[in-house]
Amino acid sequence: MVPATSLRAVIFDFGGVLLDMRWDVARELDRAHGLPKSSVFETLYRCPAWDDIECGVGDPAEWAEAAHRELERRAGRTLPRLHDEWRRAQATIDANIALVRALRPPYRCSVLSNADLSLRDRLKGELALDHLFDDIVVSAEVGMAKPRPVIIRLASDRLDLLS
């Protein structure tokens, strides 16, 4: 365990840590539309196109459209925009946002997330949380994703933690 006196910063993930992904809603959308289990999640995030998007390659609109087409293929019929419905249900995790606020200062706080190019704008606009962080590392902006050690090193360097 690291002694409390040597702790200088905390790096937070976004999805599942700062944002409640609402897996229950994704599961309910699968069920309500007669889709195989985990279809809403898998068609968006378990595909080669996402691997590219999270590294800043490819067109996010094309990725989202391809995910929707795959959902419709799985269902065998036209569907409403289920990925959009799932995203609208997602919300910040208030207790973790309060933790970030409580840590500042004296600790530096950062976000390190495998995300598409929209994350920084979401943190600034829609969620109005960007001011809570000393830095934000978005995988799509830097062209690499976790768990590669080099992106973790980058986040640490940008907080000046390794000196």
pLDDT interval class at 4 (50, 70, 90): low
Average pLDDT on 22-43 reads 98
Domain boundaries, the chain: 4-20+91-158, 23-88
pLDDT per position as a tens digit, 143-154: 999 999 999 999
Average pLDDT on 25-30 reads 98
Ranges assigned E (strand) in 54-157: 91-92, 108-113, 135-138
pLDDT of residue 5: 62
Q: Alpha-carbon distance 89 to 23, whole Å?
A: 10
pLDDT interval class at 161 (50, 70, 90): confident
- Is the model's pLDDT at 46 over the cut of 60? yes
Give the Cβ contact number of residue 78 at 10 Å: 6
Degrees to nearest 5, angle at CA 23 with 29 and 47: 80
pLDDT of residue 25: 98
**Structure token pair of residue 155:** 């986040």
Q: Alpha-carbon distance 140 to 55, whole Å?
A: 4
CATH node for 4-20+91-158: 3.40.50.1000
Distances (CA, A) of 32 to 28, 83, 111: 6, 14, 34
pLDDT of residue 162: 72
pLDDT per position as a tens digit, 50-64: 999 999 999 999 999
Distances (CA, A) of 3 to 14, 71, 101, 157, 162: 26, 48, 21, 21, 16
pLDDT interval class at 163 (50, 70, 90): low
